[in-house]
Amino acid sequence: MKLLIADDSLMIRERIKNLVRNFTEVSIVGEAGNGKTAMEMIRKFDPDLLLLDLRMPEMGGMDVLKGMKEANMRTKVCILTNYPYPQYRDKCLALGADYFLCKSDDFEKLNIVISNTIKESEKRNANKIIN
């Protein structure tokens, strides 16, 4: 499974990479410190999962979501934010986010998000082989 991390905090990106080391099926295809770079990397690498911060320089997470929706991208998106307000959650889910997690309260739930995405990715790849 291909993973892209988009967060302006190097500390958070390192924390995510440490967590991902537990998953041999996951390949981190890129890291972006801003939304503009994230969009470029999404187009280039077509990741299975994007871990996306809301507040980043140049282009915020919601703008990335809008761009992905307009381009009909199928990448699973997990918002990982320090701003877990209901209005942000509702807007992100409406824009196509699959998960909405708080960095401080829900970080360990990333294990579930990654596991679910691995299973979905394996299922899609198996269907490609059969078809």
Judge contact between 49 and 117, C-beta under 8 A.
yes
- Classify each residue of 56-76 as buried b or exposed e, where b means 16 or more C-beta atoms within 10 Å of its C-beta: beebbbbbbbebbeeeebebb
7-33: pLDDT as tens digits: 999 999 999 999 999 999 999 999 999
pLDDT of residue 29: 97
Distance (Å, whole) CA 57 – CA 122: 34
Number of domains in the chain: 1
**Cα–Cα separations (whole angstroms), residue 81 to 78, 96, 103, 122:** 10, 16, 5, 27
86-131: pLDDT as tens digits: 999 999 999 999 999 999 999 999 999 999 999 988 777 666 555 5
Distance (Å, whole) CA 10 – CA 123: 32
pTM reported for the whole predicted model: 0.93
CATH label of the domain that carries residue 57:
3.40.50.2300
* Residue 50 neighbours by CB under 8 Å, 6+ apart: 3, 4, 6, 38, 42, 75, 76, 77, 78
Structural domain harbouring 76:
2-130
**Which residue in 73, 72, 71 sits closest to 50, CA to CA?**
73
